[in-house]
Structures are given as structure tokens and as C-alpha cells.
Amino acid sequence: MDVRLPRLGEGADSGTVSAVFVREGDTVKTDQAVLELESEKAVASIPAPSSGRVTKIYVKEGDAVKVGQLIFALSEDAGVDAGKAATKPIDASVGDDEERELVVVAEEASASTTEPLPGESLSQLPTGVVPPGSPSIRKLARELGIDLTRVRGSQRGGRIVMADLKRYVQQMQHASLKPKPQAVPFPTAPVAESIDFSKWGKVTTKKLTTLRRTISTRMVESWTTIPHVTQFDEADITSLLALRKRYASKYERKNGHLTLTAFALNVVVDILKKHPIFNASLDETAGEIVFKDYYHIGIAVDTEHGLIVPVIRDVDKKDLLQLSLELHELAERTRQRKVGLDEMQGGSFTISNQGGIGSAHFTPIINKPQMAILGMGRGVLKPVVVKRKVQQRTMLPLGLSYDHRIIDGADAARFMVDLVQAFESFKEADVRI
Amino acid sequence: MKRITTELVVVGGGPGGYAAAFYAADKGMKVILFEQERRLGGVCLNYGCIPSKAYLHAAKLISEALDSDHRGIHFAKPSIDLNQMRSWKNSILDKLSTGISGLAQRRNVEVLFGRGYFEDSRTLRVETEKGQQFVEFERAILALGSKAAMPPAFDLGNKRIMTSTESLEVEEIPKDLLVVGGGYIGMELGTVYATLGSSVVVVEALGSILSGADPDLVRPVLRYAENAFKELRMNTKVQKMATSGKKIKVTFEVDGKPKDELYDRVLVSIGRVPNTRDCGLENTKVLKDDRGFVRVNDRQETNDPGIYAIGDVAGGVLLAHKASKEARIAVEVMTGESSTFEHIVIPAVVFTDPEIAWCGLTEAEAREKKIPVAVAKFPWTASGRAVSFDRTDGLTKLVIEPQTERVLGVGIVGAGAGELISEGVLAIEMGATAKDLAESVHPHPTLSETIAEAAESFYGYATHTFTKKREEKE
């Protein structure tokens, strides 16, 4: 089976191979990491789609690779689950592609149609099986240099006919003529004049990594296309911290780390349910707001390589223990650069907690195409007037950046009020285990 | 010394060579075709496909006549005039060969008879009846063909030890005939001799005859052979042969010990070797594999730019229609088309009784390569047409990709399977699904209905069989 580079997530279509974990001839298990790729906002491992032996590796460290490019070849092994492994790509292609297409539509402002984009592989056929099309179609495709695995067949069994080939060619042409909206010039775009800093003192230089370039491109894109407003407030987390103190050891016994981020996940998801616009996305092409029935929350993780945002799925369906376990495990893997690409996709809201480091309010930048992002600072003891008396309370600084194109200030204020309220009235029942 | 220049030389006038020469001429090239025998057509026409089919037709006629008592038709035992039969066979070959020569002439393809020898990558020396000639060419197609393998241990120079070539002359009907090798040539010619009256013993070194075909397709042929032949011996090796008066003493290895038997004639059909010796290929950059076949890529290009190889000499399956397809690919590649042999379906037909034919993915291959498939079968006992001429010993099966329901392979055993398989080839090449086959109306009463019914049985509603409904896809 030839394995091509899968779509990497939000708008990404290329990356750089930062490590190759296997050698030709090695056997791998399903989901075992084969390569590590530095791409977009992540350093991620590319897993083996099925068990088997790596027969060929087409890329090496430092290679730039694109979505759809052949990266390695796998021969299904003779193991017990080989039959299952062999059928898996087919099953996956049915569900996955549909899902992937939806993601593409939702996340790529350029996607004007639900047709698959050129370069997206549509079907993973069993080894040695060619895409179904008549000899004359196959010959024409060869002459035009078209890989038929990328053409969607409209006929029974996915058979490709002339009309499909024409449509594909038209799409290709369309795509190549249309300026790509993602091709926002790199931040350095206004040709920066080279400055010789060394004339004022000693300097050292360091090349930008792919991850850093990606972060900068995406920050510029978000900052320049979304009118950001940040709503500030503080939440009194004194009683929440008391709960944390009471239950921390119980959680520890189950390997759970009762962090403020875990509490925040639990709190935020309820507020998102009440204010669905903050969990939505804007489809600029269709002129529609896309509301999501799922709550996948991204967590900004500070790694030595830079910011990476893995996503915790279905936060609304998980209790505090589950969230604390998952959060810890995911953050660990993210720091070890072992988080999969699919684990960074599909987020509907993001939390950035700087409390572990210190400092107070800040204005986070929205993780496009999401609508809003919550920034948390460090909770500090402050004199607060409670019931006409000055008391010592621990106040958590909060900053909510939102997309003012869609969300009005009043909405944000209402969101913030509810959020603060939720932090302040966290119920013991929700933390008890 | 005469020197000729030409755009293209084709070396070998078999079904690959003449097809290439004609196609290149049709595309406007100046072509010279060389044939070392005195007649065009190659092994296929002169010593293979065509004469064997003539004899198999005669054999079928005899079997049918002898098997008609229950139909109320009583024939006397046939008397066979071997000389007349041979003349009839030769007349068929003459007719076809003359036809090919005529077609060459009309296309202005120059045909030279004589042995060709490569002096270098652009020059061919030919020994013709009129003397030596040198031909300078821009491009060459090697269509040198193959010949029956004859191990030195069997090669006694005794005409009673035959290859397929000699056996097709049918000089006599030997009382006891040993066929060494249970491949398609041994099984076809064994059938001819058995029907003509020989007592035939077939020995095969492997565990089964007709390796490559799915076992369920081979089974009816095994049943026939067990009845018509004196004996089928699997896992048996022949150690040596010796002349013993008017007989051949054959030494077998049985349980590690030698055992001698006497036969009137022996047919050695253990495979074929490429004709790549003594033709000067070492003076070119053409590379051969360890078995002597010319190495080519999927565009029929050899290692020597401008020299192409097609047909048996290029290895793979040694079949005439594969050679003809490769001829087209080679010529198209020469003229700049992006043709390739990749993913081309080559059907195989064994003209035994009954015939076996298959194309695309076999069930065994799917299992071996772990390609998930569903198999739909239709036994000919349920075919009205098969019952009407007493040949229900047939089976039609489809190898189907279960997700898309696309037909990946077709296998047929039964009378006339060779004629039926083409629908399977078309289905696979067109990327047809089982539904496509099931929905296409097949005429009644014909054997072709078995293909549609096999497809219907995949969905669980074949009219003439009852199969459990196919479970809904998950």
C-alpha cells in the first residue's frame, strides 16, 4: 500500500520532515508513528494506516512534502489482523473523506464547492487494484499525466467516465487560475531591508523553523482578517481552589492532575452551550454561520519549539477526572512532539492558560476559523469587597478575544458574566469522585 | 556487400512480430520484418495454438460421436487416416500464413527470411538465401519467441522423444505415450493423443496439473483426465530416458528409488526457453535475466535505447495475445504515445476438455496478496444450455471487490470457456461492477448467461440457483 501524506489540518498543505522513525524493512503496527512532520502549527507524527512492513520510504529528513505526496509504502503483513488491516483503508475512505470534505468546506475560505480539491486522494484501493475506468479513459489520463486515484468516478462502483475526467481537468484549471486566499503574503512581505545589527554589537542568528513560520503566517492572517476585541474580567476562584485542595490527592491517586485548565474546560463548555455563537465558525464563501453540535476545545501548549494547539474532543461528554487525565496526557505528548495531526484538527474553541507561568491579563489571538479564544492569567490574592467587607480572595484574570464581525460586544459581555459566575459557583458535585 | 537502411526492423514473424510490423507500417514507418523460418506466423501458427486447435477439434468430434449412444445416435468406431489429417492441418496453416504474407505485402512491409544477428546496436546481419545482408536500422523490435525446453538428459536425438512441435505432426498414434509435464501444453496434447487412441500417462513434478488456475476450475479437467488418461501422477520426477529398441525406457524417481517403464513415445512439455542465444544480443546493450529472457520495462523498452522486446522473449506469460498487445505498446511508445503494459488484463485459456479460462485476479492470487474479495459462483448444472448438450461439468465464477462491487477477476471452466472469457476481460478493463453484469441482458439459451447469473448470485437472486441473500454491507 502506498501511503501518501494526509491532509494536515486547518489550511495546511505542506510541511518539512523533521524525523524518520523507521527504516525500510521494519514492521509497524497500526497508528505507530512512522515520520515526524513539522507543519503549520504543529510538529506531528504521521502514523501507519495499518500494520505491515515498511517496504519503501520516499522521503528523508529535511524534505519538504505536500499533501498527497507519496511518503512511504507498506506491505500488509501476514498477521492475524491482516485481513482487517487490508479492508480498513476502504472503510476509512468512505467515512473519512466525507468528514474531511466537510472540514475543508468549513475551514478553507477558498472552498467554493463541495467537490474534492485537486490533490486530494479520494479512494484507497487494495494493493495492485487500479481505479476503475475503461482502457480509453486510462490511456487519456496517462497522456494528460492525471493520476486517476485523484479523480472521483461518478458511475457505479466509482467508475470513472469521460465526464469525470473533464470535470477534474476543469477543476484543476480553475484552482490553478484562481488566486489562493491562503497565499496571504508572508509577514515579511513589505520587502524588509536587511539591517546589519552587528554594527551595534555582537549578535547570533537562528533560522526560523517551519513551525515558527507557520505560527507567524497564521497569526498575521488571523490578526489582519478578524477584527479582534478582547473582553476582560476576573473570576473569584477562592472556593474553587478550596475544592481543588480537598480533591487534589484523590485525583492524584487516579493519576489525575486537577489543574485550573481542567476546571476551565469543564466550566467553559457549559457557557459555550448557552452561547453557541462562540462555538461557531464563519463560512465567508457561503455567507453562513456554521454552528457546531460538538465541543472540541483546543488547548494552547507551550513547547520548546513553539506554540502547539492540540484539541480535546467532546469536552461536554467528559467529567472532570476524564478531562484532567486527558489534558495531562495530551499536553505531555504535545511537548514530546508526539501528537498526531488529526489531534490538532476540528477545534471549535480554544483556551490559553498562562497561569502556570505567571502574569495577568493578555489579549489572545483567535485561532481561525474559530470565533473566540479564552486567555487565563495567574490567579492572585486581592483585597475584594464581599458583602460590604474587604476580604482576601483569589482572583483569576480572564480575557476573551472574539470575532467582532459576528459577535457583538453585548454578547461577549453576557458570555463573560456567565463564565465568571460559573467559575465562582463551581459545584462540589462536579468535582467529587 | 549490400547494406539496407530502414526505420524499423522487427526480428521474428510470430503473432508479436508481425503485429508490430503491420502496426508500425500503418503508422507510416518503413519496416523490415525478419523471419528465420520459411513462413510467417511463428510458433503460434506453425507449431502451437493453431495446429493444436485443429487436432483438438478432431478429437472433440471423435469424443462427441463416441458419446452419442444415449442420444440415440450410434457411430461405428472411427477410422483415422493420419496423413489426411495432417494435410488438413497443414492446409489450415497454409491458409493463415498466406493471409499474413498478403497483409504484409499490402502494407509494403518487406519480409526477409533468414537468421538475424546483431552486429551492434544499429546493425543487423542477416543470412538469407540470396546471401549475407546488412541492415542498418533506427529502431528494432525483438520478437524472437521461445522454444520448448528439452533438458540434456532427455535429448537423445531419438524422434520418439518429442516436444510439442514434433508431436503436432502426429506421425503415428503411439500405443503408450508418456507426457512429461502437466501444464497446458501437456494436457492439451495428451487429450489429443488419448482421444486418437493412445494410452496416456501424464507425470507432473508439482502437486497439481495446470498450476496457476484456481483448483475449483481445474477439478472438472482432473475428472476428465482421470477417466480418459491411463494415469495422472503428481509429485513425480523423471530422472532419465534411454533408447530401448523401438521404445523409450523412462526412469522415474519413486519414493527416492528409481523405477523403469517402457513407452512408445514421450512428449516433453516442461516449459519453454527464450530464443535469445546466438543472435548477437551481446553486441548490444540489451540485458537478459538469469533465465535468458530479455529485460524490458512496462513500455517494452530494453536497456538499449531504440531496441524493444515483445512476446515470449520478453518473459511473463508466454501467450500469443500478450505478444500482440506488447507489439502495439512498443510501436505506440516509439511514436510518442504514453502507452504502458501496466494494468492490462491478459486472459488465459487452456483448451482441455472441458476448457478453462480466466482473467484478472484469481481467487488464489487474492488470497495470497490479501486482497479482500467476494467470490460469486454459478455451477453449470443450473444452465439450460449446458444441460442441452450434456456438458454440465462447468463453473463460472466472479472475483469481486466487496466494497465497490467491482469485478476484479473472472474464471470459467466448461465447454467453450475460451469463447466466454472475453466478456470477463471487457468487464474488468471497463471497471464494471457485478451489478453491471447482472443488469446486462444475456441471450437465452446460451452459456454466457452463466456470467450474468454468477453476478446475480452475488446479490442473492440468481434465477436458476438458490443462494442465501448476501448480507447487507456494514
* B374 and B264 part of one domain: no
- DSSP lists the bridge partners of residue B411 as B358, B397
Q: Report the gap between the CA of B20 and the closest CA in chain A (Å).
A: 19
* B32 and B100 part of one domain: yes
Residues ≥6 apart with Cβ < 8 Å to B94: none
pLDDT above 50: residue A70: yes
Distance of alpha carbon A240 from alpha carbon A145, whole angstroms: 63
- DSSP lists the bridge partners of residue A87 as none
pLDDT above 90: residue A24: no
Asked if B370 has any chain A CB less than 8 Å from its own CB, the reply is yes
* B205 and B307 part of one domain: no
pLDDT above 70: residue A124: no
In a domain, B156, yes or no: no
* B22 and B111 part of one domain: yes
Which carries the bigger pLDDT value, residue B349 or residue B465?
B349
Active site residues of A: 404
Asked if B436 has any chain A CB less than 8 Å from its own CB, the reply is yes
> What are A321-340's pLDDT values in tens digits?
999 999 999 998 888 878 87
Best mutation target, B335, B369, B370, B428, to test chain A (most A CBs within 10 A): B370
pLDDT above 70: residue B468: no
Q: What is the mean pLDDT of residues A398-409?
A: 94
Residue ending a domain, choose from B252, B270, B288: B270
Q: Report the gap between the CA of A130 and the closest CA in chain B (Å).
A: 7
Sheet holding B161-162, edge to edge: B161-162, B265-268, B176-180, B199-203, B231-233
Residue ending a domain, choose from B241, B270, B299: B270
Q: Which of A205-209, B213-217, B404-408 has the lowest mean pLDDT?
A: A205-209
pLDDT the model gives residue A179: 60
In a domain, B341, yes or no: no
Distance of alpha carbon A269 from alpha carbon A267, whole angstroms: 6
CB atoms within 10 A of CB B260: 12
How do the residues of chain A divide into helix, strand and coil, expressed in percent and rounded to 5? 35, 25, 40
Number of domains in chain B: 3
pLDDT above 80: residue A401: yes
pLDDT above 90: residue B99: yes
pLDDT the model gives residue B377: 94
Asked if B429 has any chain A CB less than 8 Å from its own CB, the reply is yes
Q: What is the mean pLDDT of residues A358-372?
A: 92
Residue A69 Cα distances to A5, A15, A49, A66, B347, angstroms: 5, 11, 15, 5, 34
Buried b or exposed e, range B197-236, using 16+ CB within 10 angstroms: ebbbbbbbeeeebbebbbeebbebbbebbeeebeebbeeb
According to DSSP, the β-strands at A2-4 and A349-353 are unpaired
Instruction: Provide the CB-side half-sphere exposure for A291 (13 A, CA).
Output: 7
Q: Tell me the three cell numbers of residue A235.
A: 473570576
Q: Which of B371, B405, B435 sits opposite A129 (nearest CB)?
A: B371
> What are B243-299's pLDDT values in tens digits?
999 999 999 987 788 999 999 999 999 999 999 999 999 999 999 999 999 999 999
pLDDT the model gives residue B466: 72
pLDDT above 60: residue A200: yes
Distance of alpha carbon B305 from alpha carbon B309, whole angstroms: 11
> What are B298-344's pLDDT values in tens digits?
999 999 999 999 999 999 999 999 999 999 999 999 999 888 888 89
* B27 and B123 part of one domain: yes
Asked if B332 has any chain A CB less than 8 Å from its own CB, the reply is no
CATH number for the domain spanning B196: value is 3.50.50.60
pLDDT the model gives residue A99: 35
pLDDT the model gives residue B131: 85
> What are A86-111's pLDDT values in tens digits?
333 333 333 333 333 333 333 333 33
Residue B370 to residue A82, Cβ atoms within 8 A: yes
Residue A132 to residue B431, Cβ atoms within 8 A: yes
> What are B404-414's pLDDT values in tens digits?
899 999 999 99
pLDDT the model gives residue A39: 64
Q: Is the peptide bond before B445 cis (omega within 30 degrees of 0)?
A: yes
Grouping H, G, I as helix, E, B as strand and the rest as coil, residue B201 is strand
The residue type at B334: M
* B424 and B371 part of one domain: yes
Best mutation target, A129, A147, A160, A165, to test chain B (most B CBs within 10 A): A129
Mean pLDDT of chain A: 80
Task: pLDDT band for A77, please (50, 70, 90 cuts).
Answer: low
Distance of alpha carbon A25 from alpha carbon A53, whole angstroms: 6
Q: Could you tell me which CATH number the domain at A227-431 has?
A: 3.30.559.10
pLDDT above 80: residue B241: yes
Residues of chain A neighbouring B408 (CB-CB closer than 8 A): 129
Q: What is the mean pLDDT of residues B352-357?
A: 96
Residue ending a domain, choose from B247, B270, B293: B270
Task: pLDDT band for B123, please (50, 70, 90 cuts).
Answer: very high
Instruction: Find the domain containing B412 and state its range.
Output: 354-459
Distance of alpha carbon B232 from alpha carbon B223, whole angstroms: 11
pLDDT the model gives residue A90: 34
* B263 and B171 part of one domain: yes
The most confident of the ranges A276-290, A302-316, B117-131, B195-209 is B195-209
Residues of chain B neighbouring A87 (CB-CB closer than 8 A): 372, 403
Residue A340 Cα distances to A19, A131, A361, B247, angstroms: 14, 29, 31, 76
pLDDT the model gives residue A111: 32
Query: DSSP readout, A193-235?
Result: PP--GGGGS-----PPPHHHHHHHHHHHHHHHHS-EEEEEEEE
Residues of chain B neighbouring A132 (CB-CB closer than 8 A): 404, 406, 430-432
* B140 and B9 part of one domain: yes
In a domain, B407, yes or no: yes
Task: pLDDT band for B137, please (50, 70, 90 cuts).
Answer: very high
pLDDT above 60: residue B25: yes
- Are the beta carbons of A90 and B473 closer than 8 angstroms? no
Q: What is the mean pLDDT of residues A331-353?
A: 88
pLDDT the model gives residue A34: 82
Asked if B430 has any chain A CB less than 8 Å from its own CB, the reply is yes
Q: Do domains A117-124+137-179 and A227-431 have the same CATH topology?
A: no
pLDDT the model gives residue A126: 59
Residues of chain A neighbouring B405 (CB-CB closer than 8 A): 156-157
User: Position of cell 505528548?
Assistant: A333
Question: Which is the catalytic residue, given B57, B74, B444, B464?
Answer: B444
Task: pLDDT band for B144, please (50, 70, 90 cuts).
Answer: very high
Residues of chain B neighbouring A143 (CB-CB closer than 8 A): 337-338
Residue A157 to residue B369, Cβ atoms within 8 A: no
Q: Is A314 left (phi over 0), alpha (psi -120 to 50) or beta?
A: left
pLDDT the model gives residue A107: 33
Q: Is the peptide bond before A369 cis (omega within 30 degrees of 0)?
A: yes
Residues of chain A neighbouring B337 (CB-CB closer than 8 A): 143
Q: Which of A129, A135, A160 sits opposite B408 (nearest CB)?
A: A129
pLDDT the model gives residue B470: 54
> What are B61-72's pLDDT values in tens digits?
999 999 999 999
Best mutation target, A140, A156, A164, A165, to test chain B (most B CBs within 10 A): A156
Q: Which of A90, A128, A156 sits opposite B433 (nearest CB)?
A: A156
Q: Could you tell me where the DSSP H helices lie in B213-317? A: 215-228
pLDDT the model gives residue A207: 83
How do the residues of chain B divide into helix, strand and coil, expressed in percent and rounded to 5? 35, 25, 40
pLDDT the model gives residue B273: 96
- Measured between CA atoms, the residue of chain A closest to residue B426 is A134
* B319 and B177 part of one domain: no
Give the percent of chain A with pLDDT over 90: 35
Q: Which of B369, B401, B433 sits opposite A127 (nearest CB)?
A: B369
Helix axes B17-26, B320-334, angle to 10 degrees: 30
pLDDT the model gives residue B457: 93
Residue B338 to residue A129, Cβ atoms within 8 A: no
The most confident of the ranges A121-135, A166-180, A206-220, A374-388 is A374-388
- The residue extents of the domains of chain A are 2-110, 117-124+137-179, 227-431
pLDDT the model gives residue A81: 38
Q: ipTM for the complex?
A: 0.72
* DSSP state, residue A303: E
pLDDT the model gives residue B150: 95
Residue A142 to residue B369, Cβ atoms within 8 A: no
Residue B343 to residue A138, Cβ atoms within 8 A: yes
Q: What is the mean pLDDT of residues A139-144?
A: 87
Asked if B408 has any chain A CB less than 8 Å from its own CB, the reply is yes
Q: What is the mean pLDDT of residues B209-235?
A: 94
Residue A156 to residue B340, Cβ atoms within 8 A: no
In a domain, B362, yes or no: yes
> What are B54-95's pLDDT values in tens digits?
999 999 999 999 999 999 999 999 999 999 999 999 999 999
Residue A126 to residue B404, Cβ atoms within 8 A: no
Asked if B435 has any chain A CB less than 8 Å from its own CB, the reply is yes
* B216 and B196 part of one domain: yes
Signed CA dihedral, B296, B300, B304, B307: sign only: positive
pLDDT the model gives residue A66: 81
pLDDT the model gives residue B467: 62
Q: Could you tell me where the DSSP H helices lie in B153-214? A: 164-167, 184-196
> What are A209-261's pLDDT values in tens digits?
878 888 888 899 899 999 999 999 999 999 999 999 999 999 999 888 899 99
Distance of alpha carbon B162 from alpha carbon B189, whole angstroms: 11
pLDDT above 60: residue B357: yes
Distance of alpha carbon A143 from alpha carbon B172, whole angstroms: 55
Taking the C-alpha atoms of A332, A335, A337 and A338 in order, what is their torsion angle to the nearest 10 degrees? Answer: 0
Which carries the bigger pLDDT value, residue B51 or residue A337?
B51
pLDDT above 90: residue B185: yes
Q: What is the mean pLDDT of residues A144-155?
A: 88
- Are the beta carbons of B189 and B214 closer than 8 angstroms? no
Task: pLDDT band for B469, please (50, 70, 90 cuts).
Answer: low
* B9 and B143 part of one domain: yes
In a domain, B154, yes or no: no
- Measured between CA atoms, the residue of chain B closest to residue A76 is B370
The most confident of the ranges A160-164, A321-325, A354-358, B14-18 is B14-18
Mean pLDDT of chain B: 94
Task: pLDDT band for B386, please (50, 70, 90 cuts).
Answer: very high
In a domain, B467, yes or no: no
Q: What is the mean pLDDT of residues A373-398?
A: 92
Q: What is the CATH architecture of A2-110?
A: Beta Barrel (2.40)
pLDDT the model gives residue B68: 94
Residue A134 to residue B436, Cβ atoms within 8 A: no
Asked if B52 has any chain A CB less than 8 Å from its own CB, the reply is no
Which carries the bigger pLDDT value, residue A160 or residue A75?
A160
* B229 and B309 part of one domain: no
- Asked if the A117-124+137-179 domain carries CATH number 4.10.320.10, the reply is yes
Give the percent of chain B with pLDDT over 90: 89
In a domain, B313, yes or no: yes
